[in-house]
Amino acid sequence: MMKPMLPSLTFDLTIQPDWLYEVKYDGFRAILEWDKNGITLTSRNDKPLLNQFPEIKDYLENHKDKFEPYLPLKLDGELVSLENPYKANFAAIQVRGRTKSAKKIQETSDKSPCRLMVFDVLLLKGKAMNSIPFLKRKNELVKLFESIGFTLEADPYHPDLLQLVQVHDDFYDLWEKVVLHDGEGIIAKHKNSLWEEGKRSLQWLKYKNWKYVSCFITSYDKTNGYFFVGVYKDGKIHGIGQVLFGFKPDEKQALQKTIKQNSRSEDAQFIYVEPAICIEVKYLELYDNQLREPHFDRFRFDLKPEDCTYEQFLLQQKNLPKDLDITHPDKPLWKNQNIQKADYILYLREVSPYMLPFLKDRLLTVIRYPHGMFGEAFYQKNCPDYAPEFVQRHRDEGIDYIVCNNLKTLIWLGNQLAIEFHIPFQTIHSKGPSEIVFDLDPPSKDEFHLAVKAALLIKTILDQLNLTGFIKTSGNKGLQIYLPLPEDVYTFDDTRLFTSFIAEYLVSQEPESFTIERLKKNRGNRLYVDYVQHSEGKTIVAPYSMRGNEHAGVATPLFWDEVNEKLNPISFNLENALNRIRKHGDPFKDYFRTKLIQPFGPVLEVLKAQKG
């Protein structure tokens, strides 16, 4: 059995040339071997894994003809339950690993298959690769995936159960993505490092994405040196785990002495103290209601024990920006919905990887609800004077707009109870539109079927023109269709030709259903196709923004097969939007990739020729 090479943990990763970076996935380290004797998948503790994870073997055997030219083969990777491109679900893989029933194993592998994230090749066509420098091994691994035809990107919704762990040369760019997606961390590898069996090497370093919790000490275990910690939940002490590592020797001695001097009781194993000593602990995640890999970080002499609450713990658990305080987390926001401010902040945190790309480099207009739905709302364009320095600003036509380019700004805005996020159709760098958007807004929610009818007619045209459109709810009573465009190629005059063409087509096909009449009194119950709205300076609600309506609506991206007579815009709210992403992924996943390949030019040429 080959023992895997292991990385060394570092708390202070120095960024240096000649180092490369990979996403660290949290699962079971596994080495895949495939030779004349068959396929094996073995853990770092020499345990066979294929019986527990039969989907991997089935998948490989179904692609045997593709692999045969490269056998014997040996790959190094991490067996994971992939949650998003930068994060694996540790709890899910642990449950799979403990499952005993063969029937249950098969049911789970069919419904929620795990994936082997491959980051190294050790044997290729029978040739040993471990003495070749890391970067050359990685290049050979990429060539293998390319030749077999497997995906080169981590994707929890892609059918490939063997996926490539890409290598990156920009630590900070990768780290931002890992933090945004709540991943475990990064592995740094020297580009010339060799694969050394069984060695914990300083040529491979692991740098983890720690979470932080403010808590207090409840007891000290005399038998092993652990300090037990807790927080207040519903006025009672709630234990969250114990911590041993991270203390300097003098810190540990002082803490032990303080606990002994202030003990309230003692038995053969524990010294118990009243909540008084507040500390900050860093950890990876909560698993089985205990902190996983906890390390002492610092004393919190600025806190009182009553400041260490379970509600704050839940917020901190989602890896919110460490130095950003959330005020009044228990504040109710909706009259008929059980949504508190903490729920809204956690929604923004979880949806941030999918929402932030649409806010990036856009002049932001928000609608703030300082009293939730219980008071008046107001539009805010100007960045307030009290905004922190990390909030990016951009001046345009005398207004200092906020530009929300990072998680910290998004959460700060959420803490300000900015509920609605509205953005223009171009970035601060664009010379023209970054997309075309059709806003299909029926006269009332009772006529929502008109928005569905219009959307499907537009989809038919887009398909005929080989154009790719994306659709979302408005969060209120309508639908919005997006056509991503390459940057700085087209003007708003160009896109007006297309939007007016589509509007006129809809009216010609269904004059009883659609109108381009601008006066409301002349529209009747027809849907107004507002092609004029798509112009410079106008705005549209951002994907995944909430709305200040009674059902706590969300401007929710849809899959096209959902757009039918059964579609109900009221059902897309805070809870539903997150569950959709967890279960099905993001319907706008390929949006920015489509910008680069959208064949809008030939369509525009025909429209210009017709106009001329």
pLDDT at 79: 98
CA distances for 184 relative to 208, 284, 410, angstroms: 6, 7, 22
Do 202 and 230 lie in a common domain? no
With respect to residue 153, please indicate whether it lies within any of the assigned structural domains: yes
How far, in whole angstroms, is CA 243 from its chain's centroid?
29
Angle between helices 171-180 and 341-359 (to 10 degrees): 140
CATH value at residue 50: 3.30.470.30
pLDDT at 324: 87
Query: HSE (CB half, 13 Å, CA atoms) of 532?
Result: 5
With respect to residue 471, please indicate whether it lies within any of the assigned structural domains: yes
3-class state of residue 301 by DSSP: coil
Q: Look-up: residue for tokens 């809870």? A: 575
Q: What DSSP designation does 340 have?
A: B
How far apart CA 343 and CA 330 sit, in angstroms, is 9
What tens digit of pLDDT does each residue of 151-192 get?
A: 999 999 899 999 999 999 999 999 999 999 999 999 999 999
3-class state of residue 566 by DSSP: coil
How far apart CA 350 and CA 344 sit, in angstroms, is 10
Contacts 24+ apart (CB under 8 A), 569-577: 569/445, 569/448, 569/473, 569/474, 569/475, 569/476, 569/477, 569/478, 569/479, 570/445, 572/473, 572/475, 573/337, 574/337, 574/339, 574/343, 574/344, 574/347, 574/546, 577/347, 577/351, 577/544
Q: Is the peptide bond before 569 cis (omega within 30 degrees of 0)?
A: no
Q: Among 424, 451, 467, where does a domain finish?
A: 424
Do 219 and 203 lie in a common domain? no
Do 252 and 291 lie in a common domain? yes
pLDDT at 1: 66
Q: Which residues contact 578 (CB under 8 A, 6 or more apart)?
A: 347, 350, 351
* CB-CB neighbours of 178 under 10 Å: 22
Do 104 and 225 lie in a common domain? no
Number of structural domains in the chain:
4
Q: What is the 3-state secondary structure (H, E, C) of 246-283?
A: CCCHHHHHHHHHHHHHCEEEECCCEEEECCCCEEEEEE
How far apart CA 212 and CA 285 sit, in angstroms, is 9
Q: In terms of C-beta density within 10 A (0-12 exposed, 13-18 middle, 19 or more buried), how is residue 196 classed?
A: middle
pLDDT at 541: 97
Do 243 and 204 lie in a common domain? no
How far apart CA 488 and CA 498 sit, in angstroms, is 17
E runs forming strands in 274-383: 278-283, 286-287, 290-291, 295-299, 365-368, 370-373, 378-380
Do 198 and 290 lie in a common domain? no
CA distances for 448 relative to 2, 150, 231, 452, 544, angstroms: 62, 42, 48, 7, 20
- Regions of the chain short of the pLDDT cut 50: none
CATH value at residue 269: 2.40.50.140
Do 476 and 556 lie in a common domain? yes
pLDDT at 318: 84
- What is the extent of the structural domain holding 191? 6-208
Burial 540-558 (b: 16+ CB within 10 A, else e): bbbbbbbbbbebbbbbbbb
With respect to residue 328, please indicate whether it lies within any of the assigned structural domains: no
With respect to residue 473, please indicate whether it lies within any of the assigned structural domains: yes
Do 51 and 80 lie in a common domain? yes
Burial 205-235 (b: 16+ CB within 10 A, else e): bbbbbbbbbbbbbbbbeeeeebbbbbbbeee
pLDDT at 213: 94
How far apart CA 294 and CA 55 sit, in angstroms, is 33
Do 36 and 185 lie in a common domain? yes
Q: What is the 3-state secondary structure (H, E, C) of 25-61?
A: CCCEEEEEEEECCEEEEEECCCCECCCCCHHHHHHHH
E runs forming strands in 406-473: 418-424, 435-441, 470-473
Do 291 and 371 lie in a common domain? no
Q: Report which of 363, 314, 91, 339 is spatially closest to residue 211, judged by C-alpha positions.
A: 314
Residue 56 phi, psi (nearest 5): -70, -45
Q: Which residues are catalytic?
A: 24
Do 204 and 234 lie in a common domain? no
How far apart CA 477 and CA 569 sit, in angstroms, is 6
Q: Among 366, 395, 424, where does a domain finish?
A: 424
How far apart CA 297 and CA 282 sit, in angstroms, is 6
With respect to residue 345, please indicate whether it lies within any of the assigned structural domains: yes
Given the DSSP bridges, would you call strands 73-80 and 115-124 parallel, antiparallel or unpaired? antiparallel
Q: Are 229 and 281 in contact (CB under 8 A)?
A: yes
How far apart CA 22 and CA 169 sit, in angstroms, is 9
